[in-house]
Amino acid sequence: MYSEKVMDHFTNPRNVGEIVNPDGVGEVGNAKCGDIMRIYLDVEGDIIKDVKFKTFGCGAAVATSSMVTEMVKGKTLDEAMVISNAAVAEALGGLPPEKMHCSNLAADALHAAIVNYREKQEKKE
C-alpha cells in the first residue's frame, strides 16, 4: 500500500516534537476527518533554522509531515512557501490515490506556520 520511503518516514519520523516559544505555528485538518498536523518554526533572518511537527493521523499523514520538515530545514521562507502538497507526496515516492486528498496536508500546515510567523512580524513593526 505504502512505498518504502513512506514507511521509513512513518517508522523513523524526522523532526517530531515541538519548539518552545516558536516563531510561527501552523495547524491544519481536524479530528473529525482523522488528520491534524501542527508545524512549529524557528526563523532566523529569512531562513527556517529549525522546524518540528506533531501529527494525529494515518501513516501518510505522519510521513508527509516528516518529509516536509526535512525538505524545508535551512530553506528561505519564500522557498518554503512554494513547496506544494503534491511535491511532498512526490518526494515520498507517491501516495496511494485515496490518501492524496485526506492525508496530504503537510505543506498546508507549513504554509500556515509561515503565514503565522509573518503576521507576528507585522505586528511587531
Partner 1 sequence: MRRVYLDHSATTPVDPEVAALMMTYYTEKYGNPSSVHSFGREAKQALEEARKQVAELIGATPPEVTFTSGGTEADNLAILGAAEALRKKGKHLITSAIEHHAVLETCEYLAKNGFDLTVVPVNEEGILSVEDIRQAIRPDTILISVMHANNEVGSILPIAEIGKLAKEHGITFHVDAVQSLGKLPIDVNAMNVDLLTVSSHKIYGPKGVGALYVRKGVRVVPLVHGGGQEKKRRSGTENTPGIIGFGKACQIAGQRMAEDARHQTKLRDKLMHGILQRIDHVKVNGPIGAKRLPNNVNVSIEFVEGESLLLSLDMLGIAASSGSACTSGSLDPSHVLLAMGLVHEIAHGSLRFSLGRQNTEEEIDYVLEQLPKIAERLRMMSPLYDQAIHTQQAQ
Q: Is 58 a catalytic residue?
A: no
Between residues 58 and 91, which has the closer beta carbon with respect to partner 1?
58
Alpha-helix runs per DSSP H in the chain: 4-11, 59-72, 77-81, 85-91, 99-102, 106-124
Binding stretches for partner 1 (CB under 8 A): 2, 7, 10-11, 13, 16, 18, 27, 31-38, 54-62, 98-99, 102-103
φ and ψ at residue 5, rounded to 5 degrees:
-65, -40
Q: How far is the CB of 46 from partner 1 (least distance, A)?
A: 27
The catalytically annotated residue of 7, 47, 81, 102 is: 102
Q: Is 33 a catalytic residue?
A: yes
Residues with catalytic annotation?
33, 102
